[in-house]
Chain A
Amino acid sequence: MAKLNLVQAINTAFMQEMEKNDKIVVMGEDVGVDGGVFRVTEGLLAKFGPNRVFDTPLAESGILGTAIGMAVYGLRPIVEFQFEGFSFPAYDGVLNHLARIRNRSRGRYTCPVMIRSPYGGGVRALEHHSEAPETLYSHIPGLVVVIPSTPYDAKGLIASLMDGSDPSYFFEPKRLYRAFKQEVPEERYTVPIGKARMVREGKDVSIITYGAMVRVCEEAADSLMQKGINCEIIDLRTISPMDTDAIITTVKKTGRCVIVHEAPRSFGTAAEIIARINEKALMDLKAPVKRVTGYDVTTPLPKLEDFFFPDAGRVMKAVEETMSF
């Protein structure tokens, strides 16, 4: 088994999937010759040629719209938007078409386009390059929204998406791209869509999170352990459809819950999780559920970004408040 970082794991997954299925095509800005600005699609053009990998004109709505047509015709486009913040020219296509084709045709047509973008903050970039817009996408019925936190999961989740028939948005936490390596099997394997991962078991409090925040929560949990607080950490992996079971099970077990994401707070993923807890486990709670999130403001430029994104200290504070409620 090779040790791969997130970029390498995703790249390997694409190599493998494209080899297996000649209907898969990759399209986007600078994904070919350049291999993508983060090199995620490096080598795909050389290996699969210009009829499988396209450096498209600079037009997100054009890329997505033509990908829909391709998918309806029978291909499986993997579409890159260069940064999450530049996905919005195509938002109309995602919301009004991509996610509705199955329903609009009563199942006659499917539209298995996989959209992918670097996602989230922490790399000291210019405006629009540090956003966490998952809520804007997970609010769309029919669209699968995935945010992996490890190289292993990334590869397996991509395989599952390629086996499935739903359109999806795959957000790649850019601060994890080269943050660490992990053993990733060479052979093909799948990680199920819609299933959370138990990051570590604990008995005192449940931390529910995803993406780059998983590592922040692990750091917080390590420090809290030394203070005698034993945290359970759940990585959602798929934001939509959400693994309600995993959420309810852990909350019933610990009775305490802190939810952590880097996206702004209001109307966010945490709000949805709390609603599900209210519906199914309210009486099991020993303390109100806390949220540690980005604030309800525009993602700041780098001079202030460290104040915006949750860090281990903020997670610890929320956990301690929950414990002493």
Chain B
Amino acid sequence: MPIQQIFEGKINNMQIIDKDGNVDELLDPKLPKDLLLKMYIYMVLTRTFDQKCMNLQRQGRVLTYAPSLGQEAAQIGSVATLEDKDWIFPSYREHATYLWRGIEMSQLMTYWIGSELGMKIPEGKNNFLVSIPIASQALHAVGAAWAAKLRGDKVVTIGYFGDGATSEGEFHEAMNFAGVYQAPCVLFCQNNQWAISTARKKQTATTSIAQKALAYGVKGIQVDGNDVLAVYKATKEAVDNARNGGGPTLIEAVTFRRGPHTTADDPTKYRKEDEVKYWEERDPIRRFTVYLKKANYLNDELEKKILDRSVEEVEKAILEAEATKMDNPEDMFNYAFGTMPVYLQEQKNELMEYLRSKKV
């Protein structure tokens, strides 16, 4: 037989709660009420945080900010599957993952106010730093997972990135290393349809991002990224599988960036209102609300209470963040090296002397 088929691949898409809140009973992971409510609370909290940061940016109290509006289910559904010992490697848009993983909201705001202190992750929290160079963190996530495997730790890592990131070489290298070393990690792509003004269709000629997994010997699945249960179920399976020696998974969460890319961006230049409306109708929080109410885990009163509490918490956080003593000028020198070279000490002295001379 001179011609034989040597490979065949298929990729599934999973949805559990549809856009109107109807649930697929067979697929429903039937999570405990406490966990479901906690996920709901953090989704609402993230959205409240997001709106606040957008408003504060307009007032000049927050710098450039990358909103996560519309992506709450993708972020919470995935991060909720982790244990404390696991690691996250976010990009710049994963506010929900930091909040879920115990970063104080006031500290997170400190970062978006423009201080390095915002990324001084508290001891004992396995959260890696905001990574702005696109796709870089995917490799870091793979490396940490590989290290965990080498050390015999049952630790899993998640690397978060966007649809645009899948064009960078680093994404492909991350996939390949993950496959070759069977690193216990999840490569989690939030396909929010846009990389600034560049549509997903212009990034890749493939029908899905998930299918790229097959070429690297990595498992792949596409989920409705606005369905928190589908995201949870797919990620939990991937995390459990990685923890038990089953290797990496690429998850494509299909979602939508409803806000601008950042506060510096004007999306009316490149996309139509219709598209935004289409995705508003697929809002992740609304459909989860319907699901929780049907299950009798949530009622109007509790819904309002959760929202009010979120608003309070966000207001408190911004006041705290603004009251935080930000870095001193010396701090920009203090973390350059483990031991400060003499010439750098001289530069520091030069600046401090200059600042004193300006005061008099």
Binding site for B on A (CB under 8 A): 29-30, 32-35, 37, 55, 57-62, 85-86, 88-89, 124-128, 265-266, 295-298, 300-304, 307-308, 313-314, 317
Chain A residues in 8 Å Cβ range of B329: 304, 307
A301 and B116 in contact (CB under 8 A), knowing A30-B196, A55-B197? Answer: yes
Q: How far is the CA of A4 from the CA of B38 in the complex (A)?
A: 55
Residues from chain A with a CB closer than 8 A to the CB of B351 are: 295, 307
Check B336 against A298 for contact (C-beta < 8 Å): yes
For A303, what are the chain B residues with a Cβ–Cβ distance below 8 Å? 113-116, 326-327
Contacts of B51 in A (CB 8 A): none
Within 8 A of A (CB), among B302-360: 326-327, 329, 331-333, 336, 343-344, 347-348, 351, 354-355, 357-358
Q: What A residues does B202 contact at CB under 8 A?
A: 55, 57
B298 to chain A, nearest CB (A): 37
Number of A-B contacts (CB under 8 A): 112
- A266 contacts across to B, CB distance below 8 A: 343
User: Can you give 22 A-B contacts (C-beta < 8 A)?
Assistant: A33-B270, A37-B196, A37-B264, A58-B134, A58-B164, A58-B168, A88-B133, A124-B114, A127-B130, A127-B132, A295-B333, A295-B351, A296-B344, A297-B333, A297-B344, A298-B332, A301-B114, A301-B115, A303-B114, A303-B115, A304-B331, A308-B332
Q: Are A62 and B167 in contact (CB under 8 A)?
A: yes
Task: Tell me whether B198 and A29 are in contact (CB under 8 A).
Answer: yes
Name the one of B264, B333, B347 contacting A265, with C-beta atoms under 8 angstroms. Answer: B347
Q: Which of A85, A88, A266, A304 lies at the interface centre, i.e. has the most chain B CB atoms within 10 A of its CB?
A: A304
B332 touches A297 (CB 8 A): yes
Residue among A58, A61, A308 facing the most chain B CB atoms (10 A cut-off) = A58
Residue of B nearest to A124 (CB): B63
**With the chains together, A22 CA to B197 CA distance in Å?**
26
Cα distance A128–B196 when bound, in Å?
Answer: 17
**Min distance, Cβ A42 to any Cβ of chain B, angstroms:** 10
Cβ 8 A contact of A128, one of B115, B133, B327, B336: B133
Q: Is B92 an interface residue (CB 8 A)?
A: yes
Interface flag for B20 (CB, 8 Å): no
B99 within 8 A of A: no
In the complex, B81 has a CB within 8 A of chain A? no
Question: Would A300 and B116 count as touching, CB distance under 8 A?
Answer: yes
- CA–CA, A34 and B194, complex, Å: 12
Q: Which residue from A89, A126, A298, A308 sits with its C-beta under 8 Å from B169?
A: A89
Q: Give the residues in chain B near A34, CB-CB below 8 Å.
A: 196-197, 269-270
B: interface residue count bin: 35 or more
Q: Is the CB of B336 within 8 A of A29?
A: no
| Cross-chain contact A296 with B115 (CB below 8 angstroms) | no
**Set B167, B331, B354: member contacting A58, Cβ < 8 A:** B167
Interface residues of B in 232-262 (CB under 8 A from A): none
In the complex, what distance in Å separates the CA atom of A245 from the CA atom of B147? 55
CB distance from A221 to the nearest CB of B (A): 18
Residues of chain A with a CB closer than 8 A to B344's CB:
295-297
> A51 → chain B, closest Cβ, in Å?
15
CA distance A314 to B355 in the complex (A): 10
The answer for the CA separation of A33 and B201 in the assembled complex, in Å, is 14
What distance in Å separates the Cβ of B279 from its nearest Cβ neighbour in chain A? 19
Min CB distance, A7 to chain B, in Å?
Answer: 15
Q: Are B169 and A62 in contact (CB under 8 A)?
A: yes
User: A58, A85, A304: which contacts B327 (Cβ < 8 A)?
Assistant: A304
Pick from A35, A57, A298, A307: contact of B204, CB below 8 A: A57
- Give the distance in Å from the alpha carbon of A86 to the alpha carbon of B197 in the complex: 17
Chain A residues whose CB sits within 8 angstroms of the CB of B167 once the complex forms: 57-59, 62
B164 CB contacts on chain A under 8 angstroms = 57-58
| Contact assessment for B332 and A30 in the assembled complex, using a CB-CB cutoff below 8 Å | no
CA of A240 to CA of B332 in the docked complex: distance in angstroms? 30
Q: A86 near B133 (CB under 8 angstroms)?
A: yes
In the docked arrangement, what's the CA distance between A61 and B133, Å?
Answer: 13
Closest to B267 in A: A34
What separation, in Å, do the CA atoms of A109 and B132 have in the docked complex?
36
Whether, in the assembled complex, B165 has its beta carbon less than 8 Å from a beta carbon of chain A, the answer is yes
Looking at the assembled complex, report how far the CB atom of B328 sits from the nearest CB atom of chain A, in whole angstroms.
Answer: 8
Q: Give Cα distance in the complex from A111 to B360, angstroms.
A: 55
- Report whether B196 and A125 are in contact in the complex, using a CB–CB cutoff of 8 Å: no
A297 vs B341: C-alpha distance when bound (angstroms)? 12
Q: How far is the CA of A33 from the CA of B133 in the complex (A)?
A: 22
CB proximity to A under 8 Å, residues B33-72: 63-64
Q: For residues 127 through 160 of chain B, which have their beta carbon under 8 Å from a beta carbon of chain A? A: 130, 132-134
Provide the residues of chain B in CB contact with A301, threshold 8 Å: 114-116
Judge if B14 is at the interface, Cβ distance under 8 Å: no
Q: In the complex, what residues of A have CB within 8 A of residue B333's CB?
A: 295, 297
- Contact indicator B198/A125 (Cβ below 8 Å): no
User: In the complex the two chains form, is A55's CB within 8 Å of B114's CB?
Assistant: no
Min CB–CB distance B203 → chain A (angstroms): 5
Contact of B133 with A30 in the complex, beta carbons under 8 Å: no
B104 within 8 A of A: no
Q: Which 3 A-B pairs have the closest CB atoms?
A: A302-B114, A34-B197, A57-B167
Other A-B pairs beyond A55-B198, A57-B203, 14, CB < 8 Å: A33-B197, A33-B269, A58-B167, A59-B169, A62-B169, A124-B64, A124-B114, A125-B63, A126-B63, A295-B351, A296-B343, A303-B326, A303-B327, A307-B329
Shortest Cβ distance from residue A136 to the other chain B in the assembled complex, whole angstroms: 15
User: Nearest Cβ in chain B — how far from A33, in angstroms?
Assistant: 5
Contact A313 B198 (CB under 8 A): no
Which residues of the other chain, B, contact A308 by a CB distance below 8 angstroms? 332
